[in-house]
Structure 1
Amino acid sequence: MVDGKGKKMSKSAGNVMAPKKIIDQQGAEILRLWVASENYREDIRVSNEILKRLTESYRKIRNTFRYLLGNLNDFDPVKPIGYR
């Protein structure tokens, strides 16, 4: 694992990000999204900036789904839709 600048992470350098700390600050969903979005064939980068971008992306995805689900609340697939 490397930091956002590509520098190797190590406890002695003090630049390690603990998963528990990330979960406490950002939430488990952000950590899961980060793990799913990283390319395991390359150096795995993690930084506060990367996590902030993922937090913003997650917020947009979540709000979009909330909007869509809210509009589907009274949807009946059998009932015809009136087109304008």
Structure 2
Amino acid sequence: MKIEAAVIKEQGVTFAVVVVKKSVVDNQFESERVIRALMPHFGNIPVVLMGQDYRGRAYYRGRRDIVNFLSRLHISQIPWREYYVS
């Protein structure tokens, strides 16, 4: 399966941001399930999910400090690339 994601190292913390449907971000149970499933694909670093609403506004779910950092960025500042996961 192909996903769009970014691995970022900021202030000594390395984490992944993964694009998902906003409905996944809105559902805490589903978000936690997806984060747990994706962590091994990124070397068990913290994973944050990002979904967009119909206006393109980003919403995040994951570790609070990372979410706060990402919320101050425009999504174009995130180094997105395609990853393949099984």
Q: Which has the higher strand share?
A: 2
**Common fold: TM-score over 0.5:** no
TM-score (normalised: structure 1): 0.24
Q: Which has the higher helix share?
A: 1
TM-score (normalised: structure 2): 0.23
**Higher RCO, 1 vs 2 (CA within 8 Å, ≥6 residues apart):** 2
Q: Max radius of gyration: which structure?
A: 1
